[in-house]
Amino acid sequence: MKNNTAASGLWKNTHPQMTVMAMIVVVVFCIATIGDHEAASSLFSAIKLWIETHLGWLYISIVCAIFFFSLFLMVSPLGRIKLGSDDQQPEFSRFSWFAMLFSAGVGVGLLFWSIAEPIYHFQGNPFQEMLGVESNTAEAAQLGLNIAIFHWGLHAWGIYALTGLCLGYFAFRQGLPLTIRSALYPILGDRIYGPVGHAVDLLAVFATIFGVATTLGLGVVQINAGLNYLFGTAIAVSNQILIIAVVTAVATFSAVSGVEKGIKKLSEWNIRLTVILLTVFTIAGPTLFIVSVFFTSFWDYLVGFIPMGLWIEPESGVNWQGGWTIFYWAWCGAWAPFVGMFIARISKGRTIREYLIGAMVVPTVVGMLWLSIFGGTAIHIELFGVGGLTEAVNQDLTTALYRCIELLDMGAATWMVAALATTLLLTWFVTSADSGTLVICTILSMGSMNPPRRFRIFWGVGEGLVTAALLLAGGIAALKSISIIVALPFLIILLLMAMGLGFALRRDPGAQ
């Protein structure tokens, strides 16, 4: 096994051909999208609709296969194998490790959807029709929350976890570069260092750029909504681009600082701020109702998540699944190279079983608790309180969080809680951006754990520009479209990566 991609001078510690190609594609995309954003928006929408209509079943099938394979590895004797040598010890404590992987895998998305999604489904969804549940009732509210939990559960985290497992195993146990192509070594052999390997890594780079841009775009529009609530700042694309510029600068500085100095500290602060916000909602909100909702949701999830994951929407013209489940699986698929590589990088020394439990089960339970607290509070307000969240969600998804905080009626503390939520959005924005930047640079430097700083700066700025271009090309709709477009090729590659991992694990001495 060899790596013949060494470069010197300006391109030292990076792959020049892949880097130049990626730079050209991103620059051309930004120029074309910003130059004629209406045409770009129409093109994105048309491609997205075609994929949802003709290939939605493929998305569902791939994600189910990924989930069941990950579950098998978790419970099988293969789970004893380490991501590294048999005597390798983890680099980070469990708290720091979980803080970083949760911050990378969730980002601003869970805060964005934690109230908006349950309230949206509360008004109607295909499962209500199948189960005979009437909209806007207590049963509909619980079902809507269950759907949101399903979208943030084991299937989604399985995509991240399997990607990271493939990368971590081949990098730390087999001695291959920490790149996507390495997981295909059992299938391709030394050809991973040729054009096929370059193409695989470039697809991963593009998925990462646009996947991170989707999350950053969702985050920035909600940050804008928060600043509007706190300070009266106008909700406008120009202000959103300004926010992107400021936060991108901070995120780039964090990426240049590296994992230990920048990303680790920010991720730990994310968890602390999250705990504070969750505690505030639990105490100020309907505490007993939240506890009841959590346990009910936990049981409903155990009973229903496999049938729900296998369900494929009939051709009815509604395309609900395309707008929700397929979008979520695409979003996770687009994020998978970034999240997978990042959590692989911080998981060296852990067993496969510990890794999968930490990267799949624990985040699912935390996400379930999160959605029960935020979503449960919102549901209680709609069913038993003054209401108003349904109208907020239907009018502007980004305002749902702040409207819910306002309706909790915490008096003088309301402004402070809204400020805390906005701060958390900002810190998650930063950790998503800086982690994504570091991963892009790692792929383009053929797995180097310390990619050149000049390229970290370029890709940090590049992520911000792509996000701004997509906001100009249609906002949230364009962000969702681009995720569905770029994720499918990578999810197919992930299936091949899983095959390669299976072949390698069968021959691993630790499996004997």
DSSP 86: T
Rounded Cα–Cα distance for residues 402 and 222 (Å)? 9
Which secondary-structure segment (H or E) carries 278? helix 264-284
Cβ atoms of 439 and 201 closer than 8 Å:
no
**pLDDT, tens digit, 9 for 90 and up, residues 382-397:** 999 888 899 999 998 8
pLDDT confidence bin for 1, thresholds 50/70/90: very low
Structure tokens at 510: 């630790």
Averaged pLDDT score across all residues of the chain:
86
3-state secondary structure of 92: coil
- Which of 301-312 are b and which e, b meaning 16 or more Cβ less than 10 Å from the residue's Cβ? beebbeebbeee
pLDDT tier at 108, thresholds 50, 70, 90: low
User: Is the CB of residue 304 less than 8 Å from the CB of residue 37?
Assistant: no
pLDDT classification of 491: cutoffs 50, 70, 90: very high
Contact by Cβ (8 Å): 430, 202: no
Q: Which of 64, 57, 82 is nearest to 158 (CA)?
A: 64
DSSP letter at 361 equals I
Contact 267/96 with Cβ under 8 angstroms?
yes
CA 40 vs CA 22, 378, 441: distances in Å: 20, 36, 27
Among the listed residues 205, 111, 102, 160, the one whose alpha carbon sits nearest the alpha carbon of residue 466 = 205
Report the pLDDT averaged over residues 82-111. 78
Contacts of 491 (CB under 8 A, 6+ apart): 59, 62, 63, 66, 159, 329, 333, 336
Residue range 143-177, pLDDT digits in tens = 999 999 999 999 999 999 999 999 999 999 999 98
Q: What length does the chain have?
A: 512
**Least confident span in 249-258, 389-398, 453-462:** 249-258
pLDDT mean over 246-256? 75
pLDDT value at residue 261: 55
> CA torsion 64→65→69→70, rounded to 10°?
-40
Q: Which of 25-29, 338-342, 369-373, 413-417 has the lowest mean pLDDT?
A: 338-342
Which residues sit opposite 82 in a β-bridge?
A: 351
The residue behind tokens 């087999």 is 174
Q: What is the DSSP string of 178-243?
A: SSGGGGGHHHHGGGGGSHHHHHHHHHHHHHHHHHHHHHHHHHHHHHHHHHHHHH-----HHHHHHH
Q: Where are the domains of the chain?
A: 9-507
Other Cβ atoms within 10 Å of 417 Cβ, number: 19
Q: Phi and psi (nearest 5°) for 446?
A: 60, 40
Chain segment 168-189, per-residue pLDDT in tens: 999 999 999 888 999 999 999 9
**pLDDT at res. 11:** 56
**Secondary structure of residue 83 in the 3-state scheme:** coil
- SS3 labels along 101-152: HHHHHHCCHHHHHHHHHHHHHHCCCHHHHHHCCCCCCHHHHHHHHHHHHHHC
Architecture of the domain spanning 9-507:
Up-down Bundle (1.20)
Q: Which residues pair with 351 in a beta bridge?
A: 82
Lowest mean pLDDT among 5-14, 84-93, 108-117, 332-341: 5-14
**At residue 468, what is the residue type?**
A
Cα–Cα distance, 207 to 201 (Å, whole number): 10
298 CB-near residues (< 8 Å, 6+ apart): 368
* CA distance to 97, 117, 156, 230, per residue, from 360 (Å): 13, 21, 8, 36
Q: How far is 83 from 103, CA to CA, in rounded Å?
A: 21
Q: Which amino acid is at 81?
A: I
- Convert 169-192 to b/e letters by CB count within 10 Å (16 or more is b): bbbbbeebbbbbbbbbbbebeeeb
Better pLDDT: 122 or 451: 122
Q: What pTM, to 2 d.p., does this model score? A: 0.90
Are 92 and 334 in contact by the 8 Å Cβ rule? The answer is no
